[in-house]
Amino acid sequence: MGKFISEFKEFAVKGNAVDMAIGIIIGAAFGKIVSSIVDDIIMPPIGWLIKGVNFSDLKFKLPSVYIPGMEKIPSVTINYGHFLQAMLNFVIVAFCVFLIVKTINKITNNNKVKKPAAPSKEEQLLSEIRDLLKEKQNTDKDN
């Protein structure tokens, strides 16, 4: 039992597990904000523009059915308005995550300053030979 607890403690305080938990909590809160933006700010004007339609009320009602010798099957609704709002929520969240990842990638790529590779021994030797030849040409021109 003690080994199990120590393994769990090691997992829980590991950076990746804590980072993941924080990401999930922030993601859930962000999801609620996006849902509120879609439900309370974006969808009402869209519904107003298309003659006062409230998207959360959009549904298709399946009729009740009575089959002789059986109980009556009550009517049910397919709430496609909620589905449309959920799809819009997803698109907004996906777009925001895309922008965040793009920004993080841009920042991390800018922070990585590529150091030029040190010249190999052959390149150093060739550079020295080139410099000596230039120097010899300059001294020959002077004489």
Q: pLDDT per residue over 18-34, tens digit each?
A: 777 888 888 888 888 88
Task: Say if 135 falls within a structural domain.
Answer: no
Neighbouring-strand partners of residue 61: 77
Task: Encode pLDDT of 28-69 as tens digits.
Answer: 888 888 888 887 888 788 878 878 777 778 888 988 888 888
Task: Say if 141 falls within a structural domain.
Answer: no
Quote the number of domains for the chain: 1
Task: Specify the pTM.
Answer: 0.51
Helix (H) or strand (E) holding 61: strand 60-62
Distance (Å) of CA 82 to CA 31, 58, 59, 85, 124: 15, 8, 9, 5, 69
Task: Say if 114 falls within a structural domain.
Answer: yes
Here the CATH number for the domain that contains residue 81 is 1.10.1200.120
Q: Would you tell me the crossing angle of helices 15-36 and 80-111 to the nearest 10 degrees?
A: 130
Domain extent, residue 108, equals 2-118
Say whether pLDDT at 15 is over 80. Answer: no
Say whether pLDDT at 112 is over 70. Answer: no
**DSSP 8-state assignment for residue 65:** B
Identify the band that residue 8 occupies on the pLDDT scale cut at 50, 70 and 90. confident
As a residue count, the chain comes to 143
- pLDDT score for 129: 92
- pLDDT score for 69: 81
- pLDDT score for 113: 61
Mean pLDDT value across the chain: 82
- pLDDT score for 127: 92
Q: How far apart are CA 91 and CA 88, in angstroms?
A: 5
Task: Say if 28 falls within a structural domain.
Answer: yes
Distance (Å) of CA 102 to CA 24, 89, 95, 125: 20, 20, 10, 43
Task: Say if 128 falls within a structural domain.
Answer: no
